[in-house]
Structure 1
């Protein structure tokens, strides 16, 4: 689900080759391989955390490998197909069933029973986030939720203050007012954000995914993309060609749009990129109450082929529970998933404080729901959704053609 892709391709401590995962030596020490995606800054923070782990567990050495998001999964697929995946790796909800069906993921339940991995002390039920069919396939390291990032100065200039419970109608009126008074699109292009569409569906008693496939109809998606196409043509949504040209910069910080739906912990990026002041606004609702939101998370998973499941579990436990790790990682992977880490890191940065307050408000208000199940192939569905939505918005495909093609590709990906 979460795509932090910045940074160079320089690898830090390339993974060890060989048959099977991990290695051992005559003095009883072992080496495990840890891989993740992200930026150079994330790599720096993770390597500092690993240094602490190796100090606490001197007989466990950790070899590391990191890549940008797309490159990570290309390499991981190659390793998994060859029977040599890393012992422990960063994971996301959209990949759990896929790699479980490929017999890649370690069920960590046995390590919990053995006392090598704790599931107590997690915030807001996050310890259940990596549970699939009774198996524990991932452990959360941080939480996030969908939010609307806004240019606060611009919203203030037009007198718009988004509040919890505001409706989609009020949201659309706000976008039109911004377009008409500021000469800027109100939104960057919400029609291509799969996880936002999931929330919209959930507000109507449906969901993007069921356990076995798609949870919506061609008519549902036709309605969503028809409104998206109309928004592009009216200037309420930013011109998709200009948005593409601005990448990797956000449409908001490139001053093409006043707002953008994304994960709340990405808000830090906007302050670094842009010249204005940016903040988090609530998700619009259908009935003034239900947002459909849930807490998502990056996770750590283990390889079923690892020779060192105990050490893998100890490493995961350390990375999600140790308070000092929280002070190093900050909100890089979301708001810390465990209470111990959440309380250990007190952000001083205004944007980080906003992120923490935003998630706390979601917890306190009781709007959070259980995440929609993600079947094997969900990652392919997400990529197709983004691509076809952009082709539709650019006028390269009609709405009916884009919808038909999406269902064709999704059914193939999901085996349905």
Structure 2
């Protein structure tokens, strides 16, 4: 990526903004320069790039994210826009598929070659913050250099780990029950609604299965998102401090709830349920026609729609919707020891708050965190599924509860062990109680 060439005579003027150096940091840097002048004269070439007060000094930032080609294209366009507005800043861009991403990130950070800016999610944010890998963004937030004034409060707070703001929400998301509206309309069946109880949802799914011969709901007993919401509706949580927020008895009740649903024919068979446990959008049962609903994230609706000719609807998960919250779909974090940390923070602020950048990125990383810009994206998008997902989450936001703490170290194992335990029950290899006991033991080992 090359810096933009300044406009010549006769060319329409393009606003050019040099990389901002916040006033308080500029003053601090000037004072530091005066105090350290003798050292600077005696050690030319050994200074930290961040100490430079020249707003025109060339800066090259490394940035690393996961995602497909579509996300890469959008991200590269947004970064090119930043360079256009800040010609002295260029980017060394690296991206890859989700699989293996965190192995690569761990290798880079352990090897002393971490990216200045990196994408992360709530599976690993607490872990990287605990290693002092992430820059504490609190002072930038407090000064306004990192603007979260248009974010839902619970959204930016979901990036706080042990009192430090470890990541900026790249987008907002929440759990969504996506259903096949075409199937229901064709058969004269009611649509699911936000606020229906879990028992009402299962009864509805049983009715759908009897009328259409398509199981009414994917069995979410292996889905940590559904389990987490259900726990919060019981006054529990996934975590309490550094410990689990649930017991084996809670897990047993959860597994028994869905065993009853399977016994009533409301869900698919275990082999099909296993297919639906995949994170691959193309394998979700609501688009493969093997279930009338899938348990996903609201922002996945546009991608789901691309894989089916059917009209899709989306509502909150069953139960009290206050069990859901404004979740950071993923975060942008800055490496704590980056030589260009001030500029790196300005970049992630730009990606979240610049109208052009936000319009480019759309809902690829979740609904825009900036509520004002989210409304503008909804008004201008030509994608009806994107408009629908924004509308649904905006409505749900009025009912959200307070965000839980960011998951602790070992969270990825807690998720994978739930799939293993739930499938043991689904296939009849263990009773709900036995599988629950084994699951809790595995979770305690994972977070120890």
- Give the equivalent residue in structure 2 for 1:280: 314
- Give the equivalent residue in structure 2 for 1:258: 292
Greater mean alpha carbon deviation, residues 406-415 or residues 113-122: 113-122
- Give the equivalent residue in structure 2 for 1:139: 168
- Give the equivalent residue in structure 2 for 1:378: 411
- Give the equivalent residue in structure 2 for 1:295: 326
Q: How far off its partner does 1:282 sit?
A: 2.8
- Give the equivalent residue in structure 2 for 1:16: none
Larger radius of gyration: 2
- Give the equivalent residue in structure 2 for 1:15: none
- Give the equivalent residue in structure 2 for 1:405: 438
Question: TM-score, length-normalised on structure 1?
Answer: 0.87
Q: How far off its partner does 1:305 sit?
A: 2.5
Deviations 1:101-132 (A, max 9, x none): 12211111233456532232223542322122
Of 247, 250, 253, the residue aligned with 1:223 is 253
Greater mean alpha carbon deviation, residues 216-225 or residues 75-84: 75-84
1:223 is paired with a residue whose SS is: helix
- Report the number of matched residues: 391
- Give the equivalent residue in structure 2 for 1:87: 116
Q: How far off its partner does 1:23 sit?
A: 11
1:253 is paired with a residue whose SS is: helix
Say whether residues 1:316 and 2:348 are aligned partners: yes
Whole-Å separation in 1 of the counterparts to 2:414 and 2:214: 31
Q: How far off its partner does 1:189 sit?
A: 1.9
Paired residues for 1:90-239 under 5 Å: 90-112=119-141, 116-123=145-152, 125-156=154-185, 157-239=187-269
Q: How far off its partner does 1:340 sit?
A: 4.1
Whole-Å separation in 2 of the counterparts to 1:229 and 1:196: 15
Q: How far off its partner does 1:22 sit?
A: 9.9
Is the contact made by 1:321 and 1:340 (CA closer than 8 Å) also made in structure 2?
Answer: no
Q: How far off its partner does 1:205 sit?
A: 0.8
Of 41, 54, 61, the residue aligned with 2:83 is 54
Deviations 1:219-263 (A, max 9, x none): 110121123234334432222323445764211111110001111
Whole-Å separation in 2 of the counterparts to 1:272 and 1:334: 17
Is the contact made by 1:147 and 1:282 (CA closer than 8 Å) also made in structure 2?
Answer: yes
- Give the equivalent residue in structure 2 for 1:11: none
Deviations 1:152-191 (A, max 9, x none): 0222324213233211221111110111111111112211
Whole-Å separation in 2 of the counterparts to 1:67 and 1:233: 42
Is the contact made by 1:139 and 1:299 (CA closer than 8 Å) also made in structure 2?
Answer: yes
Question: TM-score, length-normalised on structure 2?
Answer: 0.81
Deviations 1:320-361 (A, max 9, x none): 001111211111111100134213313332211211111121
Q: How far off its partner does 1:362 sit?
A: 1.5
